Structure 1
Amino acid sequence: MDRYVLDFAAIGKTDLARAGGKGANLGELCRIPGVAVPAGFCVTTEAYEEFAAKSGEFAALLAELGRVGPGALAEIRAVGGRIRAHLESLAIPAPVAAEIVRAWRRAGAGHAYAVRSSATAEDLPGASFAGQQDTYLNVKGEGELLYHVKRCWASLFTDRAIAYRAKNGFDHGKVRLAVVVQRMVFPEVAGIMFTADPVSGNRRVASIDAAFGLGEALVSGLVSADLYKVRSGRIVKRQVAAKKLAIYPLADGGTEEREVPAGRQREQALPDAAIAELAALGREIEEHFGAPQDIEWARAGGRFYIVQSRPITTLYPLPETAGDAPGVYVSFGHVQMMTDPIRPLGMSIWENTMEAVDNRWVPVAAGGRMYIDITDSLASWLGRKTAPAMYSKSDALIASAIAEVLRRRDFIASLQPRKRAKGGKSYMTKSLAMMAGAVPKLLLQDKIKVPDTEALCAQLVGELRRELARRPGQERLKYIADSFSMGFDAFMEEIGPPVFTAWMASMLIGWLARYWLGEPSPLDELTKSAPGNVSSEMGLVLGDLADVIRPYPAALAYMKTAEDATFLEGLGRVEGGDAIRPAFESFLRKYGMRCPGEIDITRPRWRERPTQLVPAIASHIHSTEPGEHRRKFAQGKADAERAAQELRRRLKRRLAGGMKARVMGRLARTYREFIGLREYPKYLMVSLLDECKKAIMEEAEALAAQGAIEQPEDVFYLTLEELTAAVATGRADKRIIAARREKYAEYEKLKPPRVMTSEGEMFAGSYAPRDLPPGALAGMAVSAGTVEGRARVVTKLEEADLERGDILVAPFTDPGWTPLFVSASGLVTEVGGLMTHGAVVAREYGIPAVVGVDEATEKIHDGDRIRVDGTKGVVEVLH
């Protein structure tokens, strides 16, 4: 073919650079037997480059555009408008125009054509760019064809296309535009088909929109369309819309809107047989491309024509499991209060750890997150009864989402227990056996013995440190893979019974308060300033550090601009540094292994990036008085003691009051003594992870010095097994590292579902509180009280800036977020449950909290004045 034009038959998936996404996909469609594609050709990106090269101003305009951010809409509009006007003023080079006209004559000069943009950053698996450039229909004649080709080239710089590229990180100067010229089909009915349900994500359900006339009316949102959903050849939903308008071609070119006759407006656009035929055709196309497709179709003369197919880019990836047996998966990140993606190294360490603890808990990867396979539980009657309640304490919306799955009776009936390798007892069985003997004794004994968890943690961390230090490179990495989880068994044998006892005591306190007194659970008061909570203690120590820094404003100013690598050394050069540095070093020795998102070993720890702590320290100094954090903690302890005394006093007035008061007193004492210990398992886990990270980074630095990798952090994109092999051979695949880094950036943009099935159907869960005020957001009430204040929406701890009275609004909180709780007057999170970190610490600090508020960080804007009702689970945006 010619240099500037390619026939569809000559194009395939490898021609993206020349034909753009739309052109490459059309070429692939032509190769599928039985799929009718209207004939046409593609004007290549070389033609666009030749056209743009004629301009002496284009490069400067692109440079100006590159300096405009995605949110600067006025600048986008101004610069984009100038670029479009400039391009439309240029003449198409004669050789390019000649080839386009020759191809048009070969295709049939007497026909009408659709002229569509086809960018090299369009219809891609990671970003569709659908609708960002322009399409022109029913184009007739040589002059109109060339004119509309030029308009397509200029539409590469529509306001929406510029903003979309900027938001998704595409360089404006590197995107090229081809143009598809395709013979028009004048259909009776046209529309769009998704081979997977775009709303639920279910890969087994095809979703079809259909309307009269040209599909452009539907694509552009001018008309309502019929909606049909098809599963396994059966129509499972049929929603017929009132189709009042349609777009039809004009005899001389162009299109017009026409009103659909009243008698046809409620007519089903496609008969049932045609719906099933179209769905089957969609499955063939999906199979060819190997991924769910977004397909534009038209029906004329009883035949379906496919005018475009592109990947559906909005679907959350399926779990990476072997086989195609039905399954149900729960987000591990929502349980652990960290919903960001985890890099491959972090993922592989968790896979090894969880398999060692219980081979039924091996996580599966989906969208860079870990999911736990709960198919076994839901395949049994007992599991179906207990699963929602089991997850409700971690994240209430997970419990609701599982309940939604259970209502899919046909799907649940298809679940079968997984075949797994035989081994010892499951972790759950061992835990229940261990606790069954310990809990009665702990609840009934007069003197409560609190385990020395700090000493046990120090012992286990020290043992791991020594084992890693005495092993050479490859051997120490293998030790991490094989033995990292060993400390957990010993630790949980010691701490498991008291933590479980605290949970049992909390349940009994709530139930007895309702039964004996007719009152709500008093746990919010009893939890205040509970002893032994390592996360709360960390917050207090950070407050002490802030008080050391408080008298030295020059030191705080230095810390706000300091570099991590020289942070501590630089303190010696500012006033007060001699006092501050020892205090900071002491804090980092004990808590330097922590950070937000700490379950991912690849996240930078506070000891590596101490500047992460500066915003929390600054907020503490600005929002509290010296020693106020300690006084608040002491006040909370006094409040809890008074609440326990008052509870016993009221019980004594009831029938058998003496016995009831003694029982409640024992339960309250047991709860307060042990509830703080629930933070220690994660504290130990993070401490052990940090020792492993130190060893891993020593090997990574050696690999970087050898040239096997570009920088030490490259190992984060290798699995532990791949890293071990790289240390053994001195070689690592840099292409794999680069590809995974790019994939991780894609995963960061995804919002993970709480629960999903093997079919891709996603379940978010929901709340239905009574008497919800108009416009209010519902969540789970986890810490009682009501507060009004300024919302500070914080998605990254290092960007936090809280002042006295501010309400923290965050996607989640784990122990790394604890420093902010001292400054916050209330808490709202998107993820959480009654016993998760944010809820427990909020109760300890006595601040109202609502968790599980879906999309809270998007629906609440930074600076909004909001009201948080931690008793009812309601958040209102006041103004």
Structure 2
Amino acid sequence: MVQYVLNFNEIDKTSLPYVGGKGANLGEMSKAGFPIPKGFCVTTAAYRSFIETSSEMDELFNLLDQLDPNQLDHLQQLGKRIRDHLESLSMPDDIRSAILQAWKETGAEAAYAIRSSATAEDLPTASFAGQQDTYLNVKGEDQLLQAIQKCWASLFTDRAISYRMKNEFAHRSVYLSVVVQQMVFPEVSGIMFTADPVTGHRNTISIDASFGLGEALVSGLVSADLYQVCSGKIVKKQVAEKKIAIYALPEGGTITQDVPPDKQKEQALSDEKIVELAKLGEQIEHHYGSEQDIEWGLAGGKLFILQSRPITSLYPLPPIQDDSKIHFFISFGHQQMMTEAMKPLAISIWRTLFPFGKRKFSAQSDAMLAAGGRLFIDLTELLYWKPARKIIPIALSNIDELISNASIQFMQREQFQKEAVPNKQVSKKARQFVKLVLTNIIKNILFRDPSQSIHLCDEYMERLVQKSKEEMAQVSGADRIKWIQESAGKLLPTLFQELFHYPVSGILAFKLIQHCANRWLGDDREVHLLNKSLAGNVTSEMGLALGDLADIARKYPEVVEYLKSAENHSFCQGLGQLPGGDIFRKEFARFINQYGMRCPGEIDITKPRWREAPTMLVPSIVSHIQNLKPGEHRERFKQGKIEAEQAVQSLLKRVRMTSGGLLKQRWMSRLITVFRGNMGAREHPKYIMVWHLDLYKQAILEEANQLVDKGVLNHPTDVFYLTLDEIRMILEDRFAEDVHELIDQRKKDYERYQKLAPPRVMTSEGEVITGRRGDSQAPAGALVGTPVSPGVVEGYARVVLNPDKANLHPGEILIAPFTDPGWTTLFHSSKALVMEVGGLMTHGAVVAREYGIPAVVGVDEATKKIKDGQYIRVDGTLGYVQILDAEKNA
């Protein structure tokens, strides 16, 4: 028999398909003994039976499916049409009878709150809160039935339709239950979060409280007191001026009234009740096993819970062993200029690559952990080592100013200082690493010939890549995955030992040059020019090579036109029939042979490489042709070398003229030679890593193809949703889980993770430490960031979220979420660079200095706050972006 009504005592968390998220939560809490006002739910079966009485809904659903979310007028018109239609229908007698019977049993004389409860509402992954309607203080049979029917219709409010479209919920698959709950008439009410919704701190309970019904607070009509409780103690009280309150009317409905002046600044909830409410919140969170957003009320001295739902806005926590200590995590993606979510294989590869927090080379690191599809590095134990507390913030300042500042804030906390007992093994490894790197740096700066550095790096790179290719070719199946794990586990330690000291020597030499220039000359105004046109930088050479390729293409207009519509699968074949096509194809093959393993977001092994999707390079080639003259990129590079050499001569001449100038000149000359000779090696370690990622990818996909043939996988790229250990176990026939089911779930998780915004820094308590910038000299209203390449330019903004789809025009300023080597091909066409993440020594900053274009990084939400075509000023010296004319179009 179809049940149109279920009482709260008949409902628990398994009832969600019948009573929606809100109804299931209320029934679950009622059964668990929490103070829930009595009530019942009109089930989704009633809603479906009601909808079936309509002869028009099929057509209306079809129209919903065809809606474009950007066509707001059509959305509003269709939404109103559906609501009007549903409110005009007659409620079937059997549904009406079931509702009235439950209402009489619960108390016909009482007033009720009538709330919508959708089946896609109050879920751990999505909160539809506020998308449907609520009716308060409903009295009598007619008001009750009318409110329920309006709730059904409110499944098609404009905001509910839009929310479903945005979150990809099919309109036909979301059903509505209606919660009918006895009203309590609270003197005080509000919202409680069992984790701080602002900072994410999981051990802080945050309570908003105001007089009267909570509807005023939820709808934003009134200010509320804010109380925070941690470990049973009130740690914060912020009493607001509460000018109005909403109260229930005896005859039904509500009224908004002014709060008497003498009560407006009164604390709404006593300290005793604050602590009692927080304890109740802890119990509800414990019951559900997740942080909760709870509506509550205080009536007659008793606390009531009106509803509870999961908090969906919190960023997930990295999993750690429960050692009761607070941990400090920094975002790996912000360091690597790739903050997008990664698939499980990419995460597994990097946890294997990361050399710290491991028992053996092939294991996954316990110091690099995944959360929300991103990777976070646990620096806690390293920070317990006193020297690291000075070194780490300095190192991080070159990557991201806000991360560096957050680390200093964390280390100043009393709890950290109490827990900071050094781990002898960690300290020993850190000392060994520092000693090895420092020894090589000293030798590089004082003795070694810098002119050989790039040559030595190139030779080592070629030997290592060739060795890996040969070894990989000799293994297959599970043995090949084992080889990848061993190879990945040893790669970074090897690169640290063999190559890392070259670019670090260059960085340190540059810092010393700046220091000496300021001390001896009183300024370092010419020092930044030393960054221009560094020899041997593999990424800069890639940009020059792409410019050469574009210059070849520009000679043959048919080739350029072909490129604009080329397909990946037939990219090279289609060139054969065109004038100049064979010439371009030959040069393109040479470029791909050298750089085809690169791409935007290249640290993610699952991202398509240029060799797999060559059309990704087309926007850069076309942009180069549009924005630069033939050979201009090479001329710019030559001019950069001339400017750098002129700066060298000027600096040395000025130093020579100071007291003790001869010795100072020799030291400055040595430092400049060390910098110019070693800094070009900055990209070699990453270049080698990306080569290896592509080798690993080719090997894994070969094994995946075998698994597709056996029916284990549906498609080779399904392997991207497995870890290295899982792939190996599958190849060894030792994997017990349903592979298809596991992959399907992880695909859903990945889609959800893509919508999350990862924090730069977080603690194991979930607190997001935002960090603070130093004093800014930016004008009022400017967007402030970190200056990384000096100069001031004005121009039109071009927001680029994906370089594959970039369409830069001459003189435009590139606005990007981040850049990595896969974006380098756009830099020749850019007048300046603005990024949301990055620091002084991250990729975009270094390349911007080499190319001599101003750059500001770490500008929060730059790609949202700056619009295409806005005329802006970028000050790479002081570190700000100013929107000069929001209406001006390019």
Q: TM-score range by the shorter chain?
A: over 0.9
Tell me whether 1:404 sits opposite 2:409 in the alignment: yes
Please list the CA deviations of residues 623-661 of structure 1 after superposition, one character each: whole Å capped at 9, or x if unmatched: 111111111111111110111111111112211222222
Structure 1 counterpart of 2:529, from 502, 507, 525: 525
Tell me whether 1:152 sits opposite 2:155 in the alignment: no
Counterpart residue type for residue 855 of structure 1 = E
Tell me whether 1:734 sits opposite 2:733 in the alignment: no
Q: 1:575: how far off?
A: 3.7
Q: Write the distance in 1 (CA, Å) between the matches of 2:422 and 2:58.
A: 61
- Give the 3 Å change call, closer, same or farther, for CA 143–212 of structure 1 in structure 2: same
C-alpha contact 1:473 1:699 (8 A) present in aligned 2: yes
C-alpha contact 1:327 1:415 (8 A) present in aligned 2: no
TM-score (norm 1): 0.97
C-alpha contact 1:706 1:730 (8 A) present in aligned 2: no
Please list the CA deviations of residues 702-760 of structure 1 after superposition, one character each: whole Å capped at 9, or x if unmatched: 11121111111111111100011112229761111111111111111111111111100
- Give the 3 Å change call, closer, same or farther, for CA 447–69 of structure 1 in structure 2: closer
Q: Write the distance in 2 (CA, Å) between the matches of 1:426 and 1:828.
A: 38
Tell me whether 1:579 sits opposite 2:583 in the alignment: yes
Q: Write the distance in 2 (CA, Å) between the matches of 1:858 and 1:415.
A: 40
Q: Write the distance in 2 (CA, Å) between the matches of 1:619 and 1:684.
A: 28
Structure 1 counterpart of 2:469, from 438, 462, 465: 465
Q: Give secondary structure in 1 for the equivalent of 2:307.
A: strand
1:339-358 paired onto structure 2 within 5 Å: 339-355=339-355
Q: 1:441: how far off?
A: 4.9
Over aligned residues, Cα RMSD in angstroms?
A: 1.9
Q: 1:485: how far off?
A: 3.7
Aligned counterpart, 2:81: 82
Deviating more after overlay: 717-726 vs 447-456: 447-456
Q: Write the distance in 2 (CA, Å) between the matches of 1:14 and 1:418.
A: 46
C-alpha contact 1:783 1:846 (8 A) present in aligned 2: yes
Aligned counterpart, 2:29: 29
Counterpart residue type for residue 377 of structure 2 = I
Tell me whether 1:697 sits opposite 2:698 in the alignment: no
C-alpha contact 1:84 1:154 (8 A) present in aligned 2: yes
Q: 1:416: how far off?
A: 4.8
Please list the CA deviations of residues 795-838 of structure 1 after superposition, one character each: whole Å capped at 9, or x if unmatched: 11212111111111111111111001011110011111111111
TM-score (norm 2): 0.96
C-alpha contact 1:501 1:674 (8 A) present in aligned 2: yes
- Give the 3 Å change call, closer, same or farther, for CA 492–234 of structure 1 in structure 2: closer
Q: Write the distance in 2 (CA, Å) between the matches of 1:623 and 1:446.
A: 39
C-alpha contact 2:385 2:427 (8 A) present in aligned 1: no
Q: Give secondary structure in 2 for the equivalent of 1:309.
A: strand
C-alpha contact 2:2 2:45 (8 A) present in aligned 1: no
Q: 1:794: how far off?
A: 1.2
C-alpha contact 1:76 1:159 (8 A) present in aligned 2: yes
- Give the 3 Å change call, closer, same or farther, for CA 357–440 of structure 1 in structure 2: farther
Aligned counterpart, 1:500: 504
Aligned counterpart, 2:295: 296
Q: Give secondary structure in 2 for the equivalent of 1:572.
A: helix
Aligned counterpart, 1:823: 829
Q: 1:445: how far off?
A: 5.0
Q: 1:78: how far off?
A: 1.8
Aligned counterpart, 2:753: 747
Tell me whether 1:7 sits opposite 2:12 in the alignment: no
Counterpart residue type for residue 789 of structure 2 = S
Q: Write the distance in 2 (CA, Å) between the matches of 1:586 and 1:93.
A: 74
Q: 1:519: how far off?
A: 0.6
Deviating more after overlay: 859-868 vs 54-63: 54-63
- Give the 3 Å change call, closer, same or farther, for CA 428–790 of structure 1 in structure 2: farther
Deviating more after overlay: 410-419 vs 507-516: 410-419
Please list the CA deviations of residues 40-76 of structure 1 after superposition, one character each: whole Å capped at 9, or x if unmatched: 1111111111111122222222222223233332222
Aligned counterpart, 1:848: 854
Aligned counterpart, 2:111: 112
Q: 1:440: how far off?
A: 3.6
Tell me whether 1:381 sits opposite 2:386 in the alignment: yes
Deviating more after overlay: 260-269 vs 856-865: 856-865
Q: 1:562: how far off?
A: 2.5
C-alpha contact 2:355 2:489 (8 A) present in aligned 1: no
1:426-825 paired onto structure 2 within 5 Å: 426=429, 429-445=432-448, 448-450=451-453, 451-520=455-524, 522-729=526-733, 733-825=739-831
1:257-268 paired onto structure 2 within 5 Å: 257-268=256-267
Please list the CA deviations of residues 257-314 of structure 1 after superposition, one character each: whole Å capped at 9, or x if unmatched: 0111111111100000000000000000000111000000011111111010000000
C-alpha contact 1:111 1:184 (8 A) present in aligned 2: yes
Tell me whether 1:284 sits opposite 2:287 in the alignment: no
Please list the CA deviations of residues 518-541 of structure 1 after superposition, one character each: whole Å capped at 9, or x if unmatched: 113644200100001001000000
Aligned counterpart, 1:393: 398
- Give the 3 Å change call, closer, same or farther, for CA 482–770 of structure 1 in structure 2: closer
Q: 1:552: how far off?
A: 2.9
Q: 1:353: how far off?
A: 1.9
Q: Write the distance in 2 (CA, Å) between the matches of 1:690 and 1:417.
A: 38
Q: 1:383: how far off?
A: 2.9
Aligned counterpart, 1:98: 97
- Give the 3 Å change call, closer, same or farther, for CA 169–826 of structure 1 in structure 2: same
In structure 1, runs of 5+ residues without a counterpart are none
- Give the 3 Å change call, closer, same or farther, for CA 15–521 of structure 1 in structure 2: farther
Q: 1:432: how far off?
A: 3.0
- Give the 3 Å change call, closer, same or farther, for CA 830–80 of structure 1 in structure 2: same
Counterpart residue type for residue 793 of structure 2 = V
C-alpha contact 1:375 1:418 (8 A) present in aligned 2: no
Q: Write the distance in 2 (CA, Å) between the matches of 1:564 and 1:481.
A: 31
Aligned counterpart, 1:55: 54
Q: Write the distance in 1 (CA, Å) between the matches of 2:3 and 2:497.
A: 73
Q: Write the distance in 2 (CA, Å) between the matches of 1:99 and 1:675.
A: 78
1:118-137 paired onto structure 2 within 5 Å: 118-137=117-136
Deviating more after overlay: 410-419 vs 249-258: 410-419
C-alpha contact 2:222 2:244 (8 A) present in aligned 1: yes
C-alpha contact 2:510 2:675 (8 A) present in aligned 1: yes
Please list the CA deviations of residues 521-579 of structure 1 after superposition, one character each: whole Å capped at 9, or x if unmatched: 64420010000100100000011111111133333333233222222222223443212
In structure 2, runs of 5+ residues without a counterpart are 360-364, 886-890
C-alpha contact 1:201 1:762 (8 A) present in aligned 2: yes
Q: Write the distance in 2 (CA, Å) between the matches of 1:447 and 1:64.
A: 69
Deviating more after overlay: 617-626 vs 355-364: 355-364
Please list the CA deviations of residues 225-246 of structure 1 after superposition, one character each: whole Å capped at 9, or x if unmatched: 1100000011111011111101
Q: Write the distance in 1 (CA, Å) between the matches of 2:430 and 2:582.
A: 49
C-alpha contact 2:450 2:673 (8 A) present in aligned 1: no
C-alpha contact 1:337 1:814 (8 A) present in aligned 2: yes
Please list the CA deviations of residues 330-379 of structure 1 after superposition, one character each: whole Å capped at 9, or x if unmatched: 11111111111221111111112214796687301111111111111333
Q: 1:609: how far off?
A: 1.1
Q: Give secondary structure in 2 for the equivalent of 1:262.
A: coil
Q: Give secondary structure in 2 for the equivalent of 1:762.
A: coil
C-alpha contact 2:554 2:625 (8 A) present in aligned 1: yes
C-alpha contact 1:206 1:231 (8 A) present in aligned 2: yes
C-alpha contact 1:708 1:730 (8 A) present in aligned 2: no
Q: 1:769: how far off?
A: 3.2
- Give the 3 Å change call, closer, same or farther, for CA 521–476 of structure 1 in structure 2: farther
Q: Write the distance in 1 (CA, Å) between the matches of 2:819 and 2:358.
A: 27
Counterpart residue type for residue 438 of structure 2 = M
Number of equivalent positions: 876
C-alpha contact 1:378 1:412 (8 A) present in aligned 2: no
